[in-house]
């Protein structure tokens, strides 16, 4: 009997840590959490103090140090605040649960099933920003952004609002136009290869210095050509 009790206690000792760790961040896992406050359109803080960066999308900046508030940034931030502040959410993780800033990287779901990352993209509050290896939802985000663009939702509607100023922009030096484009499309650190999906659905990657690199709108970023090829992208046809 004594031996049975000892074995039972030993098994219980192994079981309890496993239970307590079941709600911890891990690759391709998930956890429940409560949102304490929203930092920015794509970032928020949990009650335990951890920061969460939503995967696959990027809202205009509002709180970046030494960086001006970007167009539609406040609208995106306010939209996220209304959605998430004080809410219990499910965080689902991809291959990498954390980024280099020690923030959780997650797909965020409300209790009613709303997929927050997708909603921000589809409603025009965010652009897609897919960074391997966290690419599980890349195709869904791409489809959502295309719909937002076609419907001129949110930040995509700003283009129509600014049409009256198009002549002024045409008179600006080409260099300033290029600088503006580069500023709006900053690559993640160490990932300079642009991935683009054209109107035919062809996935093509462009390396720095190639003929179409500067004109290409990056829908995904890669560090190496091998990484781009693994994601289904090919080099441009010569």
Provide the 8-state DSSP code for 59: P
Catalytic-labelled residue, pool 3, 32, 37, 53: 53
Task: Report how far residue 76's alpha carbon sits from residue 68's, in angstroms, rounded to the nearest whole number.
Answer: 15
State the alpha helices, DSSP H only, in 71-154.
73-84, 116-122, 138-150
Catalytic-labelled residue, pool 50, 61, 143, 147: 61
Task: Report how far residue 159's alpha carbon sits from residue 67's, in angstroms, rounded to the nearest whole number.
Answer: 22
Provide the 8-state DSSP code for 137: T
The radius of gyration computed from the CA coordinates of the chain, to the nearest angstrom, equals 22
118 in catalytic set:
no
Catalytic-labelled residue, pool 37, 50, 96, 103: 103
103 in catalytic set:
yes
Provide the 8-state DSSP code for 210: S
What angle (nearest 5°) sits at the alpha carbon of residue 14, between those of residues 8 and 15? Answer: 85
53 in catalytic set:
yes
Q: Which residues of 131-164 are buried (b: 16+ CB within 10 A; e: fewer)?
A: bbebbbbbebbbebbbebbeeebbbbeeeeeeee
Q: Which residues are catalytic?
A: 53, 61, 103
């Amino acid at each position: 009997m004594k031996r049975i009790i000892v074995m039972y206690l030993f098994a219980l000792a192994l079981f309890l840590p496993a239970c307590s760790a079941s709600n911890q961040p891990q690759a391709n896992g998930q956890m429940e959490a409560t949102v304490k406050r929203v930092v920015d359109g794509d970032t928020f803080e949990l009650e335990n103090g951890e920061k969460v960066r939503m995967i696959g999308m990027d809202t205009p900046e509002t709180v970046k140090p030494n960086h001006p508030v970007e167009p539609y940034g406040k609208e995106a931030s306010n939209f996220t605040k209304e959605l998430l502040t004080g809410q219990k959410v499910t965080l689902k993780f991809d291959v990498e649960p954390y980024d280099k800033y020690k923030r959780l990287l997650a797909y965020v779901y409300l209790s009613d099933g709303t997929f927050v990352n997708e909603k921000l993209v589809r409603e025009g509050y965010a652009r897609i920003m897919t960074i391997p290896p966290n690419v599980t939802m890349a195709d869904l985000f791409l489809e959502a952004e295309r719909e937002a663009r076609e419907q001129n939702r949110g930040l995509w509607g700003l283009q129509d609002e600014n049409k009256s100023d198009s002549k002024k922009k045409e008179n600006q030096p080409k260099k300033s136009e290029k600088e503006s484009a580069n500023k709006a499309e900053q690559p993640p650190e160490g990932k300079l290869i642009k991935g683009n999906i054209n109107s035919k659905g062809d996935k093509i990657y462009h390396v720095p210095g190639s003929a179409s690199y500067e004109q290409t709108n990056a829908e995904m970023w890669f560090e190496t050509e091998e990484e781009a090829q693994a994601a289904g992208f090919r080099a441009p046809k010569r």
